[in-house]
Structure 1
Amino acid sequence: MRINYDFADLEAFLAVKETGSFHLAAERLNLSQSAVTRRVQKLETALDSVLFERTTRAVKPTLAAKRLQSRAEAILDDARETASAMRDESVAYAYQRNAVVTVAVIPTVAKLIIPEAIRRFRSQGHGARFRFFDQSANAVAESVARAEADFGICSIPELEPNTRFESLFNDQIVLVLPKDHPLVAQRRLNWTDIANEDLIVPARGTGNRLLIDEAMARAGLPLLWAYEIRRSTTALDFVSEGMGLALLPRSALASYPDRGVVFKPIDNPTILRPVGMLSRIEQKQTASEGAFKDIIRTVCATL
């Protein structure tokens, strides 16, 4: 059945019904009286019903008008709610398209996780922008705790009081060495195998160094190093130049293209670095932030 009336016709009908006058209805709707009359007549024709008995002194609603009133009110209420919801969704969509998600991340895992997560985020239609802080683990924790970053990706042995850590994967500390080094041919390596090598280790005070020192102390083994270096990329450069062998997280190699180096796991003890997301407790997250976190979880599940 074809519908030959619209919302404006229903509004005119209700205005006349509620005011009892075409003149007052016209004033309420800011229309001419003739315009209100035409709309009511159009509705009567479409419904094949007389809605008002008109006299020179009064406008009296018919039984059909009384039956139509509740239906007309419901139709207009639904239309207003729909329009409001669509406006809200449009505003929310526009906000999400222009929202900025700030992520603090340790450099060793940035290339391993972030590019693939961004590709998946964009492929799902999300349009938020990103601000990345590539920082040490301690700096990531501070950025999250101070609300400078929405969340962080790091390995941190101690948490700030207002943060929580969600583990994503374990990143093993490995030995990085030149491809032509004799130890490459050895199937398994123990710490005693590298006792006489020039070791390149993370600088004291870093999260990686703390993990290594604690593991060595538990195993009762000395850590005899030749070079302390703060940045993993510099340590990899030193290995490439034949200056020594480096103890680094395996993820660090993801940001270092093949330049003649390989990695070998070391056993007894095996040192694992937990990498995860750091968030503030009771923090309210945006839809974009929540979606990006879910994608990061999915990416890390494949590592």
Structure 2
Amino acid sequence: MRINFDFNDLEAFLAVMETASFHHAAERLSLSQSAITRRVQKLEETLGSALFERTTRAVKPTLAAKRLQARAEAMLESARETALAMRDESVAFAHQRGSLVTIAMIPTMVTPLLAPAVRKLREDGAVPRIRLLDRAANEVAEAVAQGDADFGICSIGSLEPNTEFEPLFEDSIVLTLRRDHHLAAAGTVAWPDLQDEPLILPARGTGNRLLIDEAMARSRLSAQWTYEVGRSSTAMDLVSEGIGVALLPRSAMYSAQGKTLAFRKLGDPDVSRPVGMLTRVGLAGNPLTEAFKKTFRDLSQSLSEI
């Protein structure tokens, strides 16, 4: 039989056994209920047996679950004892220097936040291994809530009760255009000036598009878009080729593409998105995770408006 589960799956199973509830197990482990369900299902698929009988009123362990409980407890305890036995000073130091952190992040934050944070930690002697989940804002929130990431950097607040959002800075929506475009000579561009421009907007349903649409509706403005795109990098490609002008987050200016383009403030209404750190409630990070969080907080103070 192929072993296709890990200690996290066993921990989720035991939490359900002890609380008799997927909901309470999720609260105990600071995970979403769907994440607990997936981990238990993975155990069930590997073992080929149902572990719980679920009804609308109760969660009852099956015979297979009762037989597994003692073994699962023994395996987790053995793993803890092994970890403690290995933690002399030299091994603990090496583990900290080469430890792994999984960060979910919207792509526009890679250049202004992640890259300088990595350089800073290397200067301090850390050798971080990073698993980067570069995704849309709602996917970042989902990855954090489900326990797939240690924490996230995104532009939407908490969508799940087991997560909390710490604002870092405001990221304005600005006009992105070629440096030889006639509007690049202006310090601030008025919304009516966009009426005759081939306008590139974020795709409908994205967080940035929602902010733009809401702000324009409040001010009774309208702008006829010509192109809708899903990624800021795609919009900047189109701008570079002279296809149109784009409404993008100011943070896009820090990317390699952005450094070749012009970014101009938009007049009233001012549109911005809050960029912040999303974490699971009650989750204590390892030293590397906490070092990244502190570095992100420090760096965010230097991200000034254009």
For 1:98 and 1:180, the matched residues in 2 are separated by 47
Q: Are the aligned partners of 1:240 and 1:259 in contact in 2 as well (CA < 8 Å)?
A: no
- Contiguous gaps of at least 5 residues in structure 2: 1-83
Partner residue in 1 for 2:66: none
The structural deviation recorded for 1:94 is 2.6
For 1:85 and 1:158, the matched residues in 2 are separated by 38
Q: Are the aligned partners of 2:157 and 2:165 in contact in 1 as well (CA < 8 Å)?
A: no
For 1:155 and 1:191, the matched residues in 2 are separated by 23
For 1:86 and 1:162, the matched residues in 2 are separated by 32
The structural deviation recorded for 1:256 is 3.1
Aligned-residue sequence identity (percent) comes to 52
- Amino acid paired to 1:222: S
**CA-to-aligned-CA distance 1:92-141 (integer Å, 9 cap, x gap):** 22321332100011101111111110111111122331111110001100
For 2:269 and 2:216, the matched residues in 1 are separated by 8
Partner residue in 1 for 2:149: 149
- Amino acid paired to 1:205: G
Partner residue in 1 for 2:90: 90
**CA-to-aligned-CA distance 1:180-211 (integer Å, 9 cap, x gap):** 21112223211111122111000011111111
Q: Are the aligned partners of 2:158 and 2:165 in contact in 1 as well (CA < 8 Å)?
A: no
2:233 paired with 1:233: yes
Partner residue in 1 for 2:250: 250
Number of positions where the alignment pairs a residue of Structure 1 with one of Structure 2: 220
For 2:158 and 2:175, the matched residues in 1 are separated by 25
For 2:98 and 2:176, the matched residues in 1 are separated by 42
Q: Greater Rg, structure 1 or structure 2? A: 1
For 2:258 and 2:133, the matched residues in 1 are separated by 26
Q: Are the aligned partners of 2:215 and 2:269 in contact in 1 as well (CA < 8 Å)?
A: yes
Give the 3 Å change call, closer, same or farther, for CA 188–259 of structure 1 in structure 2: closer
Give the 3 Å change call, closer, same or farther, for CA 158–220 of structure 1 in structure 2: farther
Give the 3 Å change call, closer, same or farther, for CA 258–98 of structure 1 in structure 2: closer
Which SS does the other structure have where 1:283 is aligned? coil
For 2:190 and 2:243, the matched residues in 1 are separated by 21
Partner residue in 2 for 1:297: 297
RMSD of aligned C-alpha atoms?
A: 2.0
Q: Are the aligned partners of 1:233 and 1:256 in contact in 2 as well (CA < 8 Å)?
A: no
Which SS does the other structure have where 2:247 is aligned? strand
Q: TM-score, normalised by structure 1?
A: 0.68
Q: Are the aligned partners of 2:102 and 2:149 in contact in 1 as well (CA < 8 Å)?
A: yes
For 1:243 and 1:86, the matched residues in 2 are separated by 59
Q: Are the aligned partners of 1:177 and 1:239 in contact in 2 as well (CA < 8 Å)?
A: yes
Deviates most, 285-294 or 94-103: 94-103
Q: Are the aligned partners of 1:157 and 1:207 in contact in 2 as well (CA < 8 Å)?
A: no
Partner residue in 1 for 2:211: 211
Q: Counterparts in 2 of 1:263-282, with a 5 A limit? A: 263-282=263-282
- Amino acid paired to 1:212: I
For 1:93 and 1:151, the matched residues in 2 are separated by 23
Q: Counterparts in 2 of 1:109-148, with a 5 A limit? A: 109-148=109-148
The structural deviation recorded for 1:254 is 1.6
For 2:158 and 2:151, the matched residues in 1 are separated by 16
The structural deviation recorded for 1:223 is 3.1
Give the 3 Å change call, closer, same or farther, for CA 243–120 of structure 1 in structure 2: same
For 2:247 and 2:203, the matched residues in 1 are separated by 11
Which SS does the other structure have where 1:165 is aligned? strand
The structural deviation recorded for 1:258 is 6.0
Give the 3 Å change call, closer, same or farther, for CA 98–259 of structure 1 in structure 2: closer
- Amino acid paired to 1:219: S
Partner residue in 2 for 1:283: 283
